[in-house]
Structure 1
Amino acid sequence: MVRLIQLKLAGFKSFVDPTTIQLQGQRVGIVGPNGCGKSNIMESVKWVLGESSAKEMRSENMDSVIFNGSENRKPISRASVELIFDNSLGKAPTEWSQYAEISVKRVIEREKGSTYYINNLAVRRKDIADLFLGTGLGGRGYAIIGQNTISQIIEAKPEELRSYLEEAAGVSKYKERRRETEFRLRDTRENLSRIQDVLNEIIQQIAKLESQAVIATKYNELTEKHKFHQAQVWVLKKRDASIVWKKHQSQVEKLVNELEQQTAALRKIEAEVENLRQAHIDASDEINKNQASFYEINAEVSNIENNIRNQNELLERSKKELIEIETNLAKNADDQLKFAKDIEEAGIEKAALSELYKTKEENFNSLKSSIQSVEATYLGSTEQFNQIANQFQSTQEKINLEKATIDFIHKTEEETNARITFLNNEISNIDLTGQSLLEVKESDLADKRSHVEKIEAKIDENKSLATDLEEEIDTLRQRQIEMQKELSQIEGEIKTLAQIQDDTQGNESLKSWTSQHNINTSNRLWEKLKIKTEWVTAIESALGGKLNAVLAQYETISHRPPASMVLANLNASHTYKPKNNKLNSALDVIEISDPLLMNLLSEWLSDCYIIPKGESYKNFIGNLEQGEFLVNQQGDIFTKNSVSFYGKDASLNGILLRQERLKALQEKFPSIEKSYKDVLNKLSEAELQLNDYEEQADSFGEELKDALNAFHQTEIEVEKIQQSITYANEKHSNITNEQNELKAKLTQIEVDKTTKSSLIHNLENDAHRFLEQKTSSEEIKKRHELEYESARKHVNEAEIQLQESHFNLKIINNKINELNNRINILTEDNNTLNNKKDLAKASINTESIEALQLSLREKITVKDEREKILIASRDNLAQKETDLRESEQKRLQTEQAVHPIRDKLEQSRLNEQESKLLFEQFQNEINESQLDEVVLSESITEKTTVKEVQELCNKLQEEINLLGPVNLAAIHELTSEKERKGYLDSQVEDLTSASNTLEDAIRRIDKETRDRLITTFNEVNKNFTEFFKVLFNGGQAQLELLGEEILDTGIQVTAQPPGKKNTTISQLSGGEKALTATALVFALFKLNPAPFCLMDEVDAPLDDSNTLRFANMVTEMSKNTQFLYVSHNKIAMEMAQQLIGVTMQESGVSRIVEVSLEEAEKMELAN
């Protein structure tokens, strides 16, 4: 069996940080204060095993198991839980038994759902469930008991209680297999039904396709002929297109030469235009150059004029600035004198303040030194007072504690005396009689057991008969399916053959013609013939279309029928006999009793003779007379000078053989149909008989239920009497022992009272002495405190005066620094003003203005000269433009003469291209026909015209149209449908066999499941009773079946604690329900130990004595099962081999700590 050794959590509920819990023992306790996350550990195990209900996780949805944040932490988006199992013994299911350790992990991401892993391999949730199927840890398992849910196990519905039993019996996997088998059986039957429906459709489809295939063959032949003649049309059109193409090519060459001559003249004129255009460009460049020179000298004149104007403005500004600088220098000198005087006065004030500061500082230091001795004396007296006060307080608390203990001892003494009095009354009321009543009830119980066994024997006999009948019904149903299949096939084949035979009657237009002439077409020749089988093909070949002749009297024919047709008017006036006695007549292989019909056949076959099987026509050809012919069994016809090999005619091929097959099937169908009805009747009778057996089984079941109820009731009464006797004896013994214990307890109480009274007297003397010392010490402390406060006040006042003196000194220093800064600023400002004064004097200069005026007069002279040159360049450019315009006009006239020639050339080229495209189109049509062009050309002459061949194509197209809609895929579909029919026939056989196999498997699974459940029920019932008596120290409990069939009946729990007569579970107290459910769970564990068991505060409703029995039983069961439990009870903690503490020091975040029993007790006290 695998053992849980490690649990890893990350992001699951309050375990936000990655947490690993090592599980080292068989009994692991989890302790901690309320709300710290203990139950989250239990739920994490349940969650990783595949729990899908958010309600079971105490959440609104499954994403709520992800840590959702706290005061100091943000929410996260992922949670995971992983279980590590020790599989060193290889007890895991076969697929995983090879691994020493098995890891089961579940990961959930917000809004993405869960993923599951086994040994880091991604698996389905179903794979996790299968791994623990039958171990008590499944979806309906009993090994995970949540908080406040222990009693729900015995209060569950009867069907849910049965699921616990199934899990313990290990039949969960059998039920899963049966469910899957039922699904497969249902699917198999549905597939079989669908395939049979498809087979019937295919049989009908084959019949249609056979007639369509004949038409498709004829269509293909006509299409091939039409394709050949159409290709001849393309060859003829190609020949005509080639002549036209050559004609257009010649015309294009002529126009090309003419266009080239005109183009040469145009090029000469264009060269003259280009030369003139270049001269025009040169003249434009010249004028641009002169114009730029003119603009340049004009700009220089403007610049000199602007400079003269700017120099005059600068002279005026410099004069004004020089006056302003002189004024500012005078003001700065006055300010400097004022600031120097202020600095001198501030220096005198600073010296006085410095002297005062030194005096204040010496006074403060003196006072600070004197207070230290006073403070030390005060602190010493305070400490001495606190020590004495603590001693007094401690002694007083001990006195209160001992007095409370004395009160508790007095109360215990009173309770013990009252208990002794109660026990004396109880022991006098015990009834030790009842053995005689027990003997009477045991005899009654034996009689009822015998009655139950008789009814069970009747049920077994009825069940055996029903089983045999079920097998017979299965055989009849299989026979019904086979016969139904055979009937469907025969019926489909009859319809198909009849439809094919009906198709030989002709099309609608022919039927209309015969109706106009009052000719009955239902009487056909082939219907009357009976031919030896081996000569059917020979006679079909010899008669040809006459085989489908209409045997009818007719008078005059007003007009021809719309299609080929043979009418045979039976007439006895002419008799024809074979003329050649050397040969075997074809009439010899035909059996006809009607003399008129024989005369008709004699007329048609009087010259037809047969070649015996295995003989060559050469042996008989010499005996033929004029007009006679031979036919062999293959239908080949031989005359003196020719041979005609038989080819199957589409409409009449196999018509005689089909007719024989149709008659045989029609004769066979009634007998098979009768047999099918007989099978249906037998099946109906057997099913009625089976219903009778089932009704008898229900009757026997009710009778057995009543007998069992009576038996169980008597059995309970016997057990109650036995329990009453045992309880009375046990109670007498227990009361006697308890009386002795209580008397010893009273003796000990007297000793404790004496000891405690002496201790309280001593403590009160100590308290009085400490109180006197406390009063004296308190007075000394108050005196020293007043001296310390007075000295402290003088020091504070001296410190304030020192701080004020220091502040005043700092202010005067700041004032002196500020005045020095202002003097420095004024000095820098004077330097700047002097520099500006020098620059202003230098700028007052009139010589530069006179030089600029002289340069201006020179530039104006140059400007006038360049303006004259620019005017001459513009006149030259105007003349060049006139010459260029005249030359362009001449070029346009020549170019217009070229356009008509080019248009004619383009049109000729289009005509040539069109004829080329026609030629290529016809060539492509020939290529697409995939026929040899040489063969096509040889098949036509020079005189052959397109019209002649096209008319032939149209005629063939009309014949194709007369065929009507044609299913070209019919031939391929017919082959495909026949192959499909063969495949489906094999599928029907396979599915029938599979259905039988699955039904047998279900019967075997039901039998094995029933046997296992009955055995498990008896064992669990026995264990349940034993554990109940241990946990309750007596009493009676058992499981009861509510019905006859254990596979689908419910189970209920009955429990009676010692001395009680409960009738229902709901009458039990909370603690009794918890103990009863625990007994049932342990009963299941004993039979099928789970790898581990989770219990969340299961012991919460139990008192100490019941908790002790519960702990002892868990210790015993832990030999085979690992227990992981949450508890606040000290007794439950003591049985743990390992204690795990859960704390929540950080709000909303759980952490794991290893704790000892003492630490666990402290945690519970804090809780």
Structure 2
Amino acid sequence: MVRLIQLKLAGFKSFVDPTTIQLQGQRVGIVGPNGCGKSNIMESVKWVLGESSAKEMRSENMDSVIFNGSENRKPISRASVELIFDNSLGKAPTEWSQYAEISVKRVIEREKGSTYYINNLAVRRKDIADLFLGTGLGGRGYAIIGQNTISQIIEAKPEELRSYLEEAAGVSKYKERRRETEFRLRDTRENLSRIQDVLNEIIQQIAKLESQAVIATKYNELTEKHKFHQAQVWVLKKRDASIVWKKNQFQVEKLVNELEQQTAALRKIEAEVENLRQAHIDASDEINKNQASFYEINAEVSNIENNIRNQNELLERSKKELIEIETNLAKNADDQLKFAKDIEEAEIEKVALSELYKTKEENFNSLKSSIQSVEATYLDSTEQFNQIANQFQSTQEKINLEKATIDFIHKTEEEINTRITFLNNEINNIDLTGQSLLEEKESDLADKRLHVEKIEAKIDENKSLATDLEEEIDALRQHQIEIQKELSQIEGEIKTLAQIQDDTQGNESLKSWTSQHNINTSNRLWEKLKIKTDWVTAIESALGGKLNAVLAQYETISHRPPASMVLANLNASHAYKPKNNKLNSALDVIEISDPLLMNLLSEWLSNCYIIPKGESYKNFIGNLEQGEFLVNQQGDIFTKNSVSFYGKDASLNGILLRQERLKALQEKFPSIDRNSKDISNKLSEAELQLNDYEEQADSYSEELKEALNDFHQTEIEVEKTQQSIAYANEKHSSITNEQNELKTKLTQIQIDKTTKSSLIHNLENDAHRLLEQKTLSEDIKKRHELEYESARKHVNEAEIQLQESHFNLKIIGNKINELNNRINLLTEDNNALNNKKDLVKTSINTESIEALKLSLREKITVKDEREKILIASRDNLAQKETDLRESEQKRLQTEQAVHPIRDKLEQSRLNERESKLLFEQFQNEIIESQLDEGVLSESITEKTTVKEVQELCNKLQEEINLLGPVNLAAIHELTSEKERKGYLDSQVEDLTSASNTLEDAIRRIDKETRDRLIATFNEVNKNFTEFFKVLFNGGQAQLELLGEEILDTGIQVTAQPPGKKNTTISQLSGGEKALTATALVFALFKLNPAPFCLMDEVDAPLDDSNTLRFTNMVTEMSKNTQFLYVSHNKIAMEMAQQLIGVTMQESGVSRIVEVSLEEVEKMELAN
């Protein structure tokens, strides 16, 4: 089993600083004053194990567990708690058993939620719960007992008490598995229902698709024919486009030759233009060169003029600057004289202040030496006074403590006397009678047991009937599904056959022709025929197209019908009889009562004879006369000189068999539909009956529950009566023993009271003597204190005067330094002004201005010469431009003559490309049709036109359009839907098998859980009774089931301490409830020891004697379970192997002080 060895807290409630608690013993006590944060340690363990209720943490929300600040500290944003377990024995769950230590950690950040870790791996909260599942530390665990909550365990609801038992039995994991299995079972059943619904829809869809597939097949045939003839249209158009393309190519070649002649003349003129353009460029280059030379000399003239103007302005500025420098030099000389005088005055003042400072310093040192002896005398008198005061205070506290002890002794003495009086009254009130009452209650209990058995028999009978009815309902539902499936198949087949039969009536154009001639086409020959079995194909072959003959009256036919058609008039009164008696006539296998129809058939079949089944035509061929023929069952027709093997016609093949099948299905459908409705009615009646059984079962269950409660209550009363009779004698003996113990205790108390009174008298004498000494010492202390304060005052005054003198001396020194700095700055300024003065004088020069004026006159002469050269270049350029313009005009005239030829050429090329594109387009259309061009051209002659073939395509398109909307995907969809149906059938089978498997798993889980719970209940009940007697020194207690089924019934606790006749837990006192709950928790621990147990002030309601029994039991249980508990009780503290003290020296912040009692004992033994 894992063991808790370390607890780490950081930022959790009052533990703001990182705190590590080492848990070294099996019994660890946590002590400290109220409000210091002891319970926060307990709550931190509960929190890290996954507690999600802020209420359990004594908080409004989960963020409140983070330290929220104090008087001296700010709030923080993060808290964490970590538990470290010793797993050296490998007892942890399999996933974590390989680790020697296991760390469980929870971290929370404000407004971000919690994060969980196991060995620093991020996990879910569920993983934490699974780690401690079945150990008593889960969400419904019994190993964590909070403050003032111990009694809530036995006051819990019956269902909650059962959860403690489940945790002890270790069936929590089974319940979790069962819940997950139930979810999977529910999902499986829902999936099965959905798949069955989809399957029914698919069956209907398949029937619909079968009829659409027939139409799609016919559409594909017509489309292929249309595609072939359309490809022939592209071949013909390609032939015509090829002729036009060759004609356009010849026209292009002609225009190209003409354009080349004109282009040659244009190139000659363009060469002349190019020569003139080059001459124009040379003239332009020359003018640019002359113009640049002119601009260059013009710029030089401007620069000289600007220099002359700048030199005149510089001369005026220099004269003004010399005057300003002379003025500044005179001002600086005056300031230097003034600063020198100020320095002399400051030096005199500095000497006087230095003498004053020395005097003040000598006075301060003298006073400071004299105060030291006064201070030493004052401190000695203060220390002597404090010693006497402490002795007096200690003596006074001892007096108060002993007086409190005497008060407690008086109170205890009164309580003992009161208890002795109570026990005298109690022993007189003991009732030893009650046997007659017991016999009466036992008789009543037997009657109620019989009543319960009768109700249980009714429930079993009702359950058996309901089970049989459920099986019947399942069978009816399965039968209904099969019938619905059969109905859907028949309905789909009827629609398909009807559609196929309707297709034999002809297309729309044929119907239009019959309508014009007032011919009713609804009466067909095949609808009237009834043929013997096995001869249907033979008659179909013999009649051929006549099989679809229209039986109607008709007048003169104005024009031919648009398609093949047979009209039969039933007015014929003559009957043709077979002439060949050696053969069997085909009319023998036809059964028709209508003589007119028989006359018609005799006309068509009078020369037709049948070959009997199993016979060869060779046996009968010699008996045929001229015009007669034989037919066998396969539809093959034999004459004397030929044989025609029967082939299936797309439209009339099997028309008679289909008609018979359609009629049979139409007759069968109402019968099956009625059967489906009968089953639906039976199913509704059975479901109503089942509902009645269920309501009756609920009624019986309620009646059984009331009877069981009444029975258990009576059973409890019988047991209580038995216990009270047995208890009466026991109580008398117990009271007598207690009276003797109280008298002995009273004698010892009186002896202690006498001893304490003598001790108080001696202490009061000592206190009086110390009070006199304290008063005298206090007077001496006050006198020395006044002397010390007076001397201290004189020293402070002298120190202030010394500081003022030092400050004044420092100020005058700073003043002298500042004046010297100013004089130095003035000297530097004068030097700079003299240098600037020399520089300005040097810059004044009038000779350079005259030299600039002479250079200006020379540059103006050069400028005039270059201007004349520039004008001559411009005149030359103008002449070159005139020549170039005339040549360009000639070139434009020639180019305009070329444009019309080029336009014609471009148009011819466009025509050639257009005809080529048409040719390629028709070629691509032929390629895309994926038909061989040679095959397409075989049936095309030179006289065949596009119009003829296109009209044939249009007729085919009309036939396609007459089919109406066609589902081209019907064939593929039909195959796909059949495959899907097969897949869904296998899914139904798999889901049904999975559902049965899951139901078996739930039954196995329930059986295993029930067995474990029953065994656990018996063992815990036994342990509970034993621990209760130990803790109460007698009495009775036990657990009771409120129902027969332990998986869902509640558990009730009954407890009777010695001498009590209470009937409910609520009648127990606070201490009795705490002891009873402790007995129950320890009973659970004995069966399933938890790794550790947390108890927060569980012993608070207990007196010393009960606390002693409680601690003895905890010591015994700690062999298998580690206990971490909070207590204020001295007896409880003494049983701890390790004490952890919690203090709050800093307001709002908890700290830990650890004490190992075993180490203390070892130190005492060593000393």
TM-score (norm 2): 0.85
User: For each residue in 1:625-663, what CA deviation from the matched residue of structure 2 results, as whole angstroms up to 9, or x when unmatched?
Assistant: 654555555445566776655443333333333344456
* Cα deviation, residue 989, structure 1: 5.0
Between stretches 164-173 and 301-310, larger displacement belongs to: 164-173
Note if contact 2:1136-2:1157 (Cα within 8 Å) is conserved in structure 1: no
Change (3 A) 1:117 1:313: closer
Note if contact 2:1138-2:1158 (Cα within 8 Å) is conserved in structure 1: no
* Cα deviation, residue 103, structure 1: 6.4
* Cα deviation, residue 163, structure 1: 4.8
* Cα deviation, residue 226, structure 1: 1.6
Change (3 A) 1:679 1:1064: same
Q: State the number of aligned residues.
A: 1167
Change (3 A) 1:103 1:638: farther
* Cα deviation, residue 903, structure 1: 1.7
Aligned pairs for 1:440-839 (under 5 A) are 441-442=441-442, 445=445, 448-449=448-449, 452-453=452-453, 456=456, 459-460=459-460, 463=463, 467=467, 470-471=470-471, 474-475=474-475, 478-479=478-479, 481-482=481-482, 485-486=485-486, 489-490=489-490, 493=493, 497=497, 500-501=500-501, 504=504, 524-527=524-527, 529=529, 531=531, 533-550=533-550, 564-570=564-570, 573-578=573-578, 586-587=586-587, 599-608=599-608, 627-629=627-629, 631=631, 633-637=633-637, 646-662=646-662, 701=701, 704-705=704-705, 707-839=707-839
* Cα deviation, residue 716, structure 1: 2.4
* Cα deviation, residue 919, structure 1: 0.6
Change (3 A) 1:499 1:1129: farther
- C-alpha distance in 2 between matches for 1:424 and 1:468: 69
User: For each residue in 1:141-169, what CA deviation from the matched residue of structure 2 results, as whole angstroms up to 9, or x when unmatched?
Assistant: 55555555555555555555555555555
User: For each residue in 1:224-251, what CA deviation from the matched residue of structure 2 results, as whole angstroms up to 9, or x when unmatched?
Assistant: 2221111111111111111111111222
- C-alpha distance in 1 between matches for 2:1089 and 2:405: 48
**Matching residue of 2:385:** 385
Change (3 A) 1:170 1:339: closer
Between stretches 182-191 and 967-976, larger displacement belongs to: 182-191
Between stretches 772-781 and 247-256, larger displacement belongs to: 772-781
User: For each residue in 1:311-367, what CA deviation from the matched residue of structure 2 results, as whole angstroms up to 9, or x when unmatched?
Assistant: 344444444444444454445445444544544454444444444444444444344
**Matching residue of 1:82:** 82
Note if contact 1:248-1:912 (Cα within 8 Å) is conserved in structure 2: yes
Between stretches 821-830 and 1003-1012, larger displacement belongs to: 1003-1012
- C-alpha distance in 2 between matches for 1:704 and 1:16: 58
Secondary structure of 1:1013's aligned partner:
helix
Change (3 A) 1:427 1:928: same
Note if contact 1:185-1:999 (Cα within 8 Å) is conserved in structure 2: yes
Between stretches 1142-1151 and 792-801, larger displacement belongs to: 1142-1151
* Cα deviation, residue 706, structure 1: 5.2
Change (3 A) 1:853 1:31: same
User: For each residue in 1:798-841, what CA deviation from the matched residue of structure 2 results, as whole angstroms up to 9, or x when unmatched?
Assistant: 44444444344434433433343333233323322332333344
For structure 1, list consecutive stretches of 5 or more residues without a partner in the other structure: none
**Matching residue of 1:301:** 301
Change (3 A) 1:71 1:970: farther
* Cα deviation, residue 853, structure 1: 2.8
- C-alpha distance in 1 between matches for 2:9 and 2:471: 56
**Matching residue of 1:160:** 160
Note if contact 2:232-2:937 (Cα within 8 Å) is conserved in structure 1: yes
* Cα deviation, residue 1149, structure 1: 6.8
- C-alpha distance in 2 between matches for 1:859 and 1:1042: 135
- C-alpha distance in 2 between matches for 1:227 and 1:459: 78
* Cα deviation, residue 906, structure 1: 1.6
Change (3 A) 1:196 1:244: same
Change (3 A) 1:492 1:908: closer
User: For each residue in 1:859-888, what CA deviation from the matched residue of structure 2 results, as whole angstroms up to 9, or x when unmatched?
Assistant: 332233233333333333333333333333
Change (3 A) 1:510 1:734: farther
Note if contact 1:1128-1:1164 (Cα within 8 Å) is conserved in structure 2: no
Change (3 A) 1:654 1:88: farther
* Cα deviation, residue 950, structure 1: 1.5
Change (3 A) 1:410 1:490: same
Between stretches 68-77 and 1033-1042, larger displacement belongs to: 68-77
Change (3 A) 1:742 1:521: same
Change (3 A) 1:1026 1:649: farther
- C-alpha distance in 2 between matches for 1:118 and 1:791: 71
Secondary structure of 1:857's aligned partner:
helix
Note if contact 2:708-2:1043 (Cα within 8 Å) is conserved in structure 1: no
- C-alpha distance in 2 between matches for 1:854 and 1:317: 25
Asked whether 1:1059 is paired with 2:1065, we answer no
Secondary structure of 2:1144's aligned partner:
strand
Note if contact 1:215-1:650 (Cα within 8 Å) is conserved in structure 2: no
Between stretches 469-478 and 292-301, larger displacement belongs to: 469-478
- C-alpha distance in 2 between matches for 1:202 and 1:155: 60
Note if contact 2:423-2:739 (Cα within 8 Å) is conserved in structure 1: yes
* Cα deviation, residue 464, structure 1: 5.2
- C-alpha distance in 1 between matches for 2:348 and 2:869: 90
Change (3 A) 1:285 1:122: same
Secondary structure of 1:386's aligned partner:
helix
* Cα deviation, residue 979, structure 1: 3.8
* Cα deviation, residue 718, structure 1: 2.6
- C-alpha distance in 2 between matches for 1:904 and 1:578: 86
* Cα deviation, residue 728, structure 1: 3.9
* Cα deviation, residue 270, structure 1: 3.5
* Cα deviation, residue 93, structure 1: 6.5
For structure 2, list consecutive stretches of 5 or more residues without a partner in the other structure: none
Between stretches 7-16 and 890-899, larger displacement belongs to: 7-16
Change (3 A) 1:362 1:166: closer
- C-alpha distance in 1 between matches for 2:267 and 2:585: 100
Note if contact 1:539-1:586 (Cα within 8 Å) is conserved in structure 2: yes
Between stretches 917-926 and 437-446, larger displacement belongs to: 437-446
Note if contact 2:343-2:816 (Cα within 8 Å) is conserved in structure 1: yes
Between stretches 514-523 and 466-475, larger displacement belongs to: 514-523
Secondary structure of 2:905's aligned partner:
helix
* Cα deviation, residue 953, structure 1: 1.6
Note if contact 1:13-1:67 (Cα within 8 Å) is conserved in structure 2: yes
Change (3 A) 1:937 1:762: same
Note if contact 1:32-1:1142 (Cα within 8 Å) is conserved in structure 2: yes
Note if contact 1:9-1:19 (Cα within 8 Å) is conserved in structure 2: yes
- C-alpha distance in 2 between matches for 1:257 and 1:71: 110
- C-alpha distance in 2 between matches for 1:906 and 1:239: 25
Q: Percent identity?
A: 96
* Cα deviation, residue 4, structure 1: 5.6
Change (3 A) 1:23 1:952: farther
- C-alpha distance in 2 between matches for 1:521 and 1:117: 86
* Cα deviation, residue 917, structure 1: 0.9
User: For each residue in 1:1127-1160, what CA deviation from the matched residue of structure 2 results, as whole angstroms up to 9, or x when unmatched?
Assistant: 5555555555555566677777766664547999
Change (3 A) 1:6 1:845: closer
Secondary structure of 1:633's aligned partner:
coil
- C-alpha distance in 1 between matches for 2:428 and 2:905: 146
- C-alpha distance in 1 between matches for 2:1109 and 2:750: 32
- C-alpha distance in 1 between matches for 2:123 and 2:583: 86
User: For each residue in 1:501-544, what CA deviation from the matched residue of structure 2 results, as whole angstroms up to 9, or x when unmatched?
Assistant: 56655678877887898877666544554556554334333323
* Cα deviation, residue 925, structure 1: 0.6
Note if contact 2:708-2:1042 (Cα within 8 Å) is conserved in structure 1: no
Change (3 A) 1:775 1:7: closer
**Matching residue of 2:979:** 979
- C-alpha distance in 2 between matches for 1:1162 and 1:401: 31
**Matching residue of 1:274:** 274
* Cα deviation, residue 750, structure 1: 3.7
What is the alpha-carbon root mean square deviation over aligned residues?
A: 5.1
User: For each residue in 1:434-467, what CA deviation from the matched residue of structure 2 results, as whole angstroms up to 9, or x when unmatched?
Assistant: 4554455446545654664565466556655655
* Cα deviation, residue 1090, structure 1: 5.3
User: For each residue in 1:1095-1135, what CA deviation from the matched residue of structure 2 results, as whole angstroms up to 9, or x when unmatched?
Assistant: 55555555555555555555555556555555555555555
* Cα deviation, residue 931, structure 1: 0.5
* Cα deviation, residue 924, structure 1: 0.8
- C-alpha distance in 2 between matches for 1:1074 and 1:205: 72
Note if contact 1:701-1:1044 (Cα within 8 Å) is conserved in structure 2: no
Note if contact 2:208-2:492 (Cα within 8 Å) is conserved in structure 1: no
Note if contact 2:10-2:17 (Cα within 8 Å) is conserved in structure 1: yes
